[in-house]
């Protein structure tokens, strides 16, 4: 009798183990296709701008703002990826740069990788420095004039590398590299993007419109985001043309006020350039609480297969601290603190999450993919730089 009881017990235990293993096999977590290759901290100063990869090779440039001897210094530092070793001496940009509210300092490599352009604000004057990457020599110093809005001029090389698209005081100008000649336009967008062949320019506006211009500056297409009346556009976080210039991809942040609380969500739009039709709208996040003034960085891989987005992550001890801070702020009717943020990578094909990258700080300052899509660089709390390698096969 006892033997039969024990056999029944053993049979039940074996059945439970088999069912548990079967359930684990069905719902087992997929291995994360991103591997942390290196992580380092900027020892002197803070990262103040979006990192930029050399178009050919794994050289990473990052603008760094530091305080020394009562003054301020803006420089661009270079690192090898994925080793994280310092690649070459820093390029000193300015010893008198005073970005308003520590606004990002835009940098851009020329398509051939020989030149680096840096936009900065010096004593209220918008300036651009064009440097030779090989030795750090200043090739061209361009003054954009007094900035009425105290905004740092943004810079973007044209695909032929002969001119810069510069956003100065919210107005688009084209600057010739050879002689510094400026051509002002009537285009006043928030962001501009070139197609790979240089024949098209996309201008993204705060009014939720995207205008496509040809090389001569004539509007050939207008894209509409088709937001509902209950939400408003907060910002375009990143945008790009497909490699064949037939499609335009853009990550948008839209917000709404609900019961006195500010909420936002992100989605990805894919338009056909030929007729301006919105081909797909991919929801990246559901609505979550966050101040409309807070910038959430994002990045698109150049082959348009992956999108990286910063999203709230209330897990861990700092997440618990944030919940307590939020509770107190709500009791006192004060503005709520920013939640801990992490980088979440999704496939563009279906919007599915590929990886949620661990945090190395409370806030993700910026993120960027390498030109070949192999590496993803994330900057945490303006000091810590993490390099992740995408190990899965191309989607």
Confirm whether 174 is domain-assigned.
yes
Confirm whether 177 is domain-assigned.
yes
Confidence of residue 74 (pLDDT cuts 50, 70, 90): confident
* Predicted pLDDT of residue 130: 95
Instruction: Flag whether pLDDT at 308 surpasses 90.
Output: yes
Confirm whether 288 is domain-assigned.
no
* Predicted pLDDT of residue 280: 87
User: What is the C-alpha separation between 309 and 297, in angstroms, rounded?
Assistant: 6
* Predicted pLDDT of residue 2: 59
Instruction: Flag whether pLDDT at 158 surpasses 70.
Output: yes
Instruction: Assign residue 118 the CATH number of its domain.
Output: 2.130.10.10
Beta strands in 21-81 (DSSP E): 34-41, 46-47, 52-53, 59-68, 71-80
If 0-12 CB within 10 Å is exposed, 13-18 middle and 19+ buried, where does residue 137 land? exposed
**C-alpha dihedral over 170, 179, 125, 42, to 10 degrees?**
90
pLDDT tens by residue, 14-29: 777 777 766 655 544 4
Q: What's the whole-model pTM score? A: 0.85
Instruction: Flag whether pLDDT at 101 surpasses 60.
Output: no
Strand partners, 68: 71
Q: Are 377 and 353 in contact (CB under 8 A)?
A: no
Instruction: Flag whether pLDDT at 395 surpasses 50.
Output: no
User: What is the C-alpha separation between 231 and 255, in angstroms, rounded?
Assistant: 5
Confirm whether 216 is domain-assigned.
no
User: What is the C-alpha separation between 329 and 339, in angstroms, rounded?
Assistant: 13
Angle at 135 between CA 77 and CA 130, to 5 degrees: 75
CB atoms within 10 A of CB 74: 26
Confirm whether 376 is domain-assigned.
no
pLDDT tens by residue, 196-255: 888 899 988 876 788 899 877 788 888 876 655 556 766 788 899 988 889 999 998 888
Confirm whether 17 is domain-assigned.
no
Percent of the chain with pLDDT over 90: 28
Q: Which domain holds residue 56?
A: 33-188
- What's the structural domain count of the chain? 1
Confirm whether 96 is domain-assigned.
yes
Average pLDDT over residues 48-59: 87
């Amino acid at each position: 009798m006892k033997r039969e009881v024990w056999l029944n017990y053993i049979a039940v235990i074996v059945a439970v183990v088999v069912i548990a293993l079967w359930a684990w096999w069905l719902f087992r977590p997929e291995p994360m296709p991103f591997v942390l290759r290196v992580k380092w901290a900027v020892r002197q100063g803070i990262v103040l701008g979006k990192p930029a990869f050399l178009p050919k090779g794994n050289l990473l440039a990052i603008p760094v703002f530091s305080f020394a001897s009562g003054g301020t210094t803006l420089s661009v530092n270079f690192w090898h990826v994925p080793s994280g070793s310092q690649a070459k001496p820093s390029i000193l940009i300015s010893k008198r740069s005073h970005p308003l509210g520590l606004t990002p300092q835009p940098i851009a490599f020329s398509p051939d990788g020989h030149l680096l352009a840096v936009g900065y604000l010096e004593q209220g004057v918008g300036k651009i420095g064009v440097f030779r990457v090989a030795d750090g020599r200043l090739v061209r110093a361009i003054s954009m004039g007094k900035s009425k809005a105290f905004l740092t001029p943004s810079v973007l090389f044209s695909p032929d590398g002969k001119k810069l698209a510069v956003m100065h005081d919210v107005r688009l100008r084209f600057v010739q590299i050879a002689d510094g000649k400026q051509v002002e336009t009537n285009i006043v967008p928030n962001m501009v993007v070139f197609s790979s062949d240089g024949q098209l320019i996309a201008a993204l506006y705060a009014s939720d419109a995207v205008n496509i211009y040809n090389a001569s500056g004539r509007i050939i297409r207008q894209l509409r985001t088709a937001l509902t009346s209950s939400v408003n556009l907060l910002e375009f976080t990143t945008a790009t043309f497909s490699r064949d210039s037939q499609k335009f991809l853009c990550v948008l942040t839209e917000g709404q006020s609900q019961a006195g609380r500010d909420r936002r969500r992100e989605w990805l739009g894919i338009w056909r350039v030929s007729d301006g039709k919105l081909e797909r709208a991919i929801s990246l996040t559901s609505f979550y609480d966050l101040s409309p003034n807070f910038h959430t960085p994002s990045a698109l891989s150049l082959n348009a297969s992956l999108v990286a987005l910063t999203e709230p992550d209330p897990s861990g001890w700092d997440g618990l601290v944030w919940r307590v801070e939020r509770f107190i702020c709500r009791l006192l009717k004060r503005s709520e603190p920013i939640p801990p943020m992490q980088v979440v990578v999704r496939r563009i094909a279906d919007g599915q999450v590929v990886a949620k990258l661990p945090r190395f700080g409370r806030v993700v300052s910026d993120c960027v993919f390498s030109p070949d899509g192999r590496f993803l660089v994330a900057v945490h709390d303006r000091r810590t730089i993490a390099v992740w390698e995408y190990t899965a096969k191309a989607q």
